[in-house]
Amino acid sequence: MDNNNNIKIWVLIIGFLVVFALSAFGVVSVIRTTFQQTQQAMEPVEALTSDVATQVAQVLNPTPTVIPDPITIIHGVRALSRLETIQYSIEKVITAEVSPGTLDILFGDRLLFVGHGIVIAGLDLEKIEPEDLWVREGVLYVRLPESEIFIATLDNDKSYVYDRETGLLTHGDTNLETTARQVAEAEIEKAALEDGILVQARRNGENYLYRLFMDLGFPEVIFVDPEQSIE
């Protein structure tokens, strides 16, 4: 009789464990299904949140839009006979500021601009007249025009504002950088002139033309000063 009771007890225990296992499996399945459904339901919300974040970032950091006017106006076209003989690459540091004196901390504006530019000089051969070339006793005399600067400009890709400080109550002078750029361009040209770019441009031009005239068959070539004439 005790054996029968023990068997019944074990049958009940095993049955209970089976039912419990099946129930637990069902709960896990339900939880898994619910989690998947929740994830699927949250996907549109997450996508919306991402879109909103992207839009906010675009508002706070907008991408500049540059639209060139489709209409182009050409004011003039002319042929050039310029012989470029030398190029300078110059870097200049410019400090520009607006200083209201004791109120600098409130309304002052100061920037440090690094200007990188090029200066190109040479000879404008279009200015040579027929009387500026003559031959005497087999010698070619050449009177070249004065050398001149053709280009003195900033390289925008290499020029930049290194630092800028503005007062607490001002957004800065909108024309200050433009002024700094203009001064930098003038200073770059001035530096090239002080270094003797025009003298070197003429010397290089004479050397180039000397070889050219010799190749053309002239046994001797003499360059004379622009104001000099041969009687």
d(CA 164, CA 110): 6
> Residue 30 has what pLDDT?
45
d(CA 111, CA 162): 8
Helix (H) or strand (E) segment spanning residue 56: helix 2-60
Residue 210: HSE in the Cβ half-sphere, 13 Å Cα cutoff? 11
How confident is the model at residue 59, as a pLDDT? 55
* CB neighbourhood size of 71 (10 A): 5
Residues in the chain: 231
Determine if residue 138 is left, alpha or beta; phi over 0 gives left, psi from -120 to 50 gives alpha, anything else beta.
Answer: left
Q: Would you say 148 and 156 are in contact if contact means Cβ atoms under 8 Å apart?
A: no
pLDDT tens across 86-130, in order?
Answer: 999 999 999 988 877 777 667 778 899 999 999 999 999 999 999
DSSP for 136-155, written as a single string = ETTEEEEEPPPPEEEEEEE-
pLDDT tens string 153-205:
999 999 999 998 887 777 778 888 899 999 999 999 999 999 999 999 999 99
Q: Kindly indicate the confidence band of residue 27, based on its pLDDT and cuts at 50, 70 and 90.
A: very low
Six-digit token pair at 195? 């270094």
The whole model's pTM is what?
A: 0.67
Whether 165 contacts 108, CB under 8 Å: yes
